[in-house]
Amino acid sequence: MRSPESVQSWLDEHFARIVAERGVPGASVAVLTQGQVLTAAEGVLSRATGVEATTDSVFQIGSITKLWTSALVMQLVDEGLVDLDAPVRAYLPEFRVGDEAASAVITTRQLLCHVAGFEGDIFTDTGRGEDAIEKYLAAIHDIPQLFPPGEVFSYNNTGFVVLGRLVEVLRGKPFDEVLTERLVAPLGLTHVAPSPYEAILHRAAVGHVPGEDGATVPAPAWALARSNAPAGSMLAMTPRDLLAFVAVHLAGGAAPDGARVLRPGTVADMWRPQVRLPRLTAMGSAWGLGWEIEEHGGHTVVGHDGGTIGQAAFLRVAPGHGVAVALLTNGGDVFGIFTDVLAYLFEQLTGIALPGRPVPPAAPRQIDPAPYLGRYSDTIYDITVSQDDDGTIWLDRVPKDVIAEIGEKPTRTRLVAFEGDSLISLDPTRGVHQVFAFIGRDEAGRAKYLHYGRVVARA
């Protein structure tokens, strides 16, 4: 296994080249091994300004924020203020979605594990005030319940906003303040920005998206709505500070000064599988209490990914080895740099090879796609699966609402048979072949849901 010194030498020698080769405007990486943290940063924070990325630059971590929200919730559990298996309404009487029966029984555990069952991609902008999350809860009263609580995993941003409101109500303070007081301060973190107001005090990365001519250009906005902050719309930091948060988990919940951030045993509970996943693109085999979990040759790997407007973040942790790698980027071939840097160093330090992303079979089997054909819809996409006269299967995805507003374009993808009731895109998008699983059957024998990490109901 590599020594810390050899890791730093490798970063010094290769990181800049990889960032350039992958067309990434700017990136920052931190590696925790043998109790030491090694760092590197390259590129620019914005191609509009040319400001250089440094190891003190803050990047948005996107949905990795959910791990911070999970820690805040588990602190409430540790203090006896929340029972994971009691209805959320015991603490948030105002919580309600479109299905009253489901609203009455959904639990905190189900929200942490993404099995609550209601529509999970609601990005309603409720303003920039401290009451943004409170107002958000009032805006989701009519969203659909896709399946009974606890039935199936479906990645759910909305559920984590509900958890953020739970934290606010039981702590009596806005989410940002609780995060700062309960995590940032006890850990002694110096470069963490819960909102743009703090980010502007640091060298802050700007996301980059494909322009009309195909070139990568600065994104039209820095962040998504403040209402979604507990799910990942705002929080920015250095990868070094992110690994300080991870180090507390590796220490069983103890801060560097010995103070308890989480009780002994709580981290083990968070890293214990709660729900199994179908094989999907870029997701683990199970989910714990907030954490993505993968099993590789008897070794457990935990982590999370995050994406905002043109920024992508990756975190992988090997608890049995005391190793963690965080990679934060602001555009370009983010999955390529994940493979070249994070996955490479992770294997060098642990011997664990992170699985490659799914690829289409060399000779896809012929199938009858009739059960899969039709239209599926949620709040951010209309998806149509169709078949040409020559037998080619197509998936058309049309963005709407906030996803359309930030510039995502309609896409058309050719699908082929993959595994079981799953199809996979024949051509990659940004280097990734996406897997679409078709689950459940209605009375006519048609798939009830399309699952690509999120469950989308047949329209």
Average per-residue pLDDT in the chain?
94
pTM over 0.85: yes
Task: Report whether 205 contacts 330 (CB < 8 A).
Answer: yes
Locus of tokens 């010194």:
5
Distance linking the first and last C-alpha atoms of the chain: 52
Written as tens digits, the pLDDT of the chain (459 aa) is 789 999 999 999 999 999 999 999 999 999 999 999 999 999 999 999 999 999 999 999 999 999 999 999 999 999 999 999 999 999 999 999 999 999 999 999 999 999 999 999 999 999 999 999 999 999 999 999 988 999 889 999 999 999 999 999 999 999 999 999 999 999 999 999 999 999 999 999 999 998 877 789 999 999 999 999 999 999 999 999 999 999 999 999 999 999 999 999 999 999 999 999 877 766 788 999 999 999 887 899 999 999 999 999 999 999 999 999 999 999 999 999 999 999 999 999 999 999 878 899 999 999 999 999 999 998 889 999 999 999 999 999 999 877 777 677 899 999 999 988 999 999 988 778 999 999 889 999 999 999 988 889 898
- Catalytically active residues are 63
Q: Which whole-number Å values give the CA distances from 431 to 124, 171, 281, 369, 427, in the listed order?
A: 30, 43, 12, 25, 9
Amino acid at 358: P
- What's the rounded Cα separation, in Å, for the pair 361 and 379? 32
Q: Shortest CA distance to 69 belongs to which of 238, 302, 234?
A: 234
Could you tell me the two tokens for 35?
């109790």
Question: In this structure, what token pair is assigned to residue 31?
Answer: 């590696």
CA nearest neighbour of 111 among 39, 164, 187: 164
Question: Half-sphere exposure (CA, 13 Å, Cβ side) for 225?
Answer: 21
* Identity of residue 123: F
Token couple for 276: 């199994």
The answer to whether the CB of 26 falls within 8 A of the CB of 57 is yes
pLDDT in tens, 338-358: 999 999 999 999 999 998 788
Phi, psi of 399 (to 5 degrees): -75, 155
Would you state the pLDDT for residue 352?
94
